[in-house]
A and B are shown apart, each in its own frame.
Chain A
Amino acid sequence: MELKQQHIFDLELKANSIRQEIIKTLLEAASGHSAGPLGMADIFAAFYFHILTHDPKNPEWDKRDRLLLSNGHICPVRYAAMALAGYFPLEELKTLRKINSRLQGHPHRTALGGLETTSGPLGEGLGQAVGMALAAKMNKENHFIYCLTSDGEHQEGSTWEAAMMAGKYRLNNLIQVIDYNNIQIDGNVEDVMPLEPFKAKYDAFNWHTIEVDGNNIRAIIDAVEQAKSIHDKPIILIAHTIPGKGVSFMENNYTWHGKPPSAQEAEKALEELKITEQKIKEEFHA
């Protein structure tokens, strides 16, 4: 089904709102990661406002699609998307990383409904996704298991253990989306410990591989649709994203991996994002 351009504009506005909430949340928390969450805002907008079968008012609904965030450190983007989708009040975003909050610095399943896993330590999400996909098959349930991962965590052997197992059991209800932004804490992924040729690795592990521009919402939605039609293999969308996307001075700069903006930087970032918001709205009405 061809998506109407108006709907895409709407999702782009959602992604923009997510980005603004990320900046505000990180400023308030005074710690946390900036680049990764901003880079993934388009993917989260696509998932929470188009792709997922879910019910924000009933986060444990058994027919929901499961969305796992393996690289838990980018949780500000997930929290922002969840708040905008109605899982909890936007106001609560201010509690991120603070005492007595449901919004832990790295996501904790039993603290907040709808998270699916406790995550942060890398290389552990894909295995849990495999377990959930096996359970869904055993229970003859039709929901999809979406597992968001990072490129850096593909340096963890455990990620490949899980990839091997998903291939063995031909888990076609498992769709992995890797945030391939080529940065990690110590520098560029290809310098620290290269992953290339990456697609060939997954092909060799018996996955169906799809490359996609992770900052193009229409392309993301189309790729997920294509992934859902694969019947004999697990699927990975290799989503090429720009870390820090939407804030010019953070884009493609690995030093923004693990730090929050200062008040001045946040102001500048929000200014840029508001200009983008205005542009989308103008296009929307054109």
Chain B
Amino acid sequence: MLNPHLKLNEKVFDADAEQKPTRDGFGKGIVALGEKDENVVVLTADLSESTRCDEFEKKFPERFFDVGVAEQDMATVAAGLGVSGKTAFISSYATFSPGRNWEPLRTTVVYNNSNVKIAGHHSGIMTGPDGATHQATEDIAITRCWPDIQILVPCDAIEAKKATMYSGSFYGPAYLRFSRDKTPLITTDETPFDPKKIQTFWVTDAPVATIFATGYMLSYALLAAKELEEENIHVLVANVAVIKPIDEETIQKLAKETGAFVTVEDHQVMGGMGSAIAEVTAKHCPTPIEFIGLQDTFAESGKPAELIEKYHMGKSAIKEAVKKVVKRK
């Protein structure tokens, strides 16, 4: 059942469950931060509306900079602002930022320890019809290897606003990952956001495995858990909203408690959230893991739901992975 302590959306499994894209939460988060703190500035590279900067742009035109189609410039200009008393959010598609501008970010933002928050949108194959050029499926891998950066991947639009606001509460670099399409609201305004802890969203007695999911894929993981329960297979579902620093303590606790993991992410399985979990288990508590995600391939154009099925990342793939990993215990 849904963890009763987290005040989650009880209607999440309903056919008419409310849906919103996580990028909407980002847009609301930067406006809320902007209202609180006049040092919050936002930059985009010709993607204001589609990355949800437009409301901030309207409200605070003097603190909004559209650099044009120039992601390297967006990174370095933000780096200059970030060491000059500003909290600078840079907002673009993740393939371009932190993709195209990876090295300027590495040098001038991360190593330079500037107060810049990188918002990467259109992540994953969920980006759909635009095709693989615009589906960011390596962004976690290429940011997770940077020292001293926090990586936040909210599961829904509500958590996206909270994660955005949290990222504005500390000095230093952060990467925030958002997706394009509408996805179910899993949390509510009352759900506590804990940047230090992996929260268990689906709980059960005597679980035989833990499904770790990140981003909107959490909704698929919850559906899988619910259906598995009907087959008398009891699992936990954990929300990995913060991929770095990863909550090693909870991972070890869940390894002891359930002894088998499935990781679920809309990202290449190499270097993503699953890899982060595997690094912890390999070091402290070797545990069999099945990895759901893109299996070393680019995807293609299509409707998000079609792509999720074709690339074996949906509910039935997760259920199969659970059955498989339990046998490996």
Interface residues of A (CB under 8 A from B): 108-110, 116-121, 123-136, 138-139, 157-158, 161-162, 164-165
Given A117-B108, A138-B62, A158-B104: A131 and B80 interface contact (C-beta under 8 Å)? yes
Q: List B97-119 residues whose CB lies under 8 Å from chain A.
A: 103-104, 107-108, 111-113
Given A120-B107, A121-B104, A124-B108: A158 and B72 interface contact (C-beta under 8 Å)? yes
Q: Annotate B63-76 by CB proximity to A: 1 below 8 A, 0 otherwise.
A: 10101101011011
Q: Which of B83-91, B249-257, B309-317 contacts A (4 or more CB under 8 A)?
A: B83-91
The minimal Cβ–Cβ distance linking A251 to chain B, given in whole angstroms, is: 31
A127 touches B104 (CB 8 A): yes
Listed from nearest, the 6 A-B pairs whose CB atoms lie closest are A131-B80, A127-B76, A135-B84, A161-B73, A128-B80, A161-B70
* A161 to B80 Cα, complex, angstroms: 15
The minimal Cβ–Cβ distance linking B126 to chain A, given in whole angstroms, is: 30
The minimal Cβ–Cβ distance linking B66 to chain A, given in whole angstroms, is: 10
Given A128-B108, A139-B85, A158-B104: A134 and B73 interface contact (C-beta under 8 Å)? no
Q: Which residues of B contact A164 (CB under 8 A)?
A: 68, 70, 73
A130 touches B62 (CB 8 A): no
* A121 to B82 Cα, complex, angstroms: 19
Which of A121, A125, A131, A136 is within 8 Å of B78, CB to CB? A131
Residue B77 lies at the interface, judged by CB distance under 8 Å to chain A: yes
CB<8 Å pairs between A and B, sample of 18: A117-B79, A117-B108, A119-B107, A121-B107, A124-B107, A126-B76, A128-B77, A131-B78, A131-B81, A131-B82, A132-B80, A135-B86, A139-B85, A157-B72, A158-B73, A158-B76, A161-B68, A165-B77
Given A128-B77, A128-B79, A162-B73: A134 and B65 interface contact (C-beta under 8 Å)? yes
Which of A108, A128, A135, A139 is within 8 Å of B76, CB to CB? A128
* A70 to B60 Cα, complex, angstroms: 31
B113 touches A109 (CB 8 A): yes
The minimal Cβ–Cβ distance linking A107 to chain B, given in whole angstroms, is: 10
Q: Which residue of B lies closest to A162 (CB)?
A: B73
Q: Which residues of A contact B86 (CB under 8 A)?
A: 135, 138
Tell me if B's interface is mostly helix, strand, loop or mixed.
Answer: helix
Other A-B contacts than A118-B111, A127-B79, A129-B80, 11 sampled, CB-CB below 8 A, are A123-B72, A124-B104, A127-B75, A128-B80, A131-B82, A132-B80, A132-B83, A134-B65, A162-B76, A162-B77, A164-B70
Interface size class of B (residues with CB under 8 A): 20 to 34
The minimal Cβ–Cβ distance linking A50 to chain B, given in whole angstroms, is: 25
Q: Which residue of B lies closest to A132 (CB)?
A: B80
The minimal Cβ–Cβ distance linking B64 to chain A, given in whole angstroms, is: 11
Residue among A116, A119, A128, A164 having the largest count of chain B Cβ atoms under 10 Å? A128
A124 touches B81 (CB 8 A): no
* A117 to B103 Cα, complex, angstroms: 15
Q: Which residues of A contact B104 (CB under 8 A)?
A: 121, 124, 127, 158
* A129 to B80 Cα, complex, angstroms: 6
A138 touches B63 (CB 8 A): yes
The minimal Cβ–Cβ distance linking B148 to chain A, given in whole angstroms, is: 10
The minimal Cβ–Cβ distance linking B75 to chain A, given in whole angstroms, is: 7
A135 touches B81 (CB 8 A): yes
A131 touches B85 (CB 8 A): no
* A185 to B214 Cα, complex, angstroms: 46
Which of A110, A130, A135 is within 8 Å of B113, CB to CB? A110
Q: Which residues of B contact A119 (CB under 8 A)?
A: 107
B70 touches A117 (CB 8 A): no
Q: Which residues of A contact B70 (CB under 8 A)?
A: 158, 161, 164-165
The minimal Cβ–Cβ distance linking A134 to chain B, given in whole angstroms, is: 6
The minimal Cβ–Cβ distance linking A156 to chain B, given in whole angstroms, is: 8
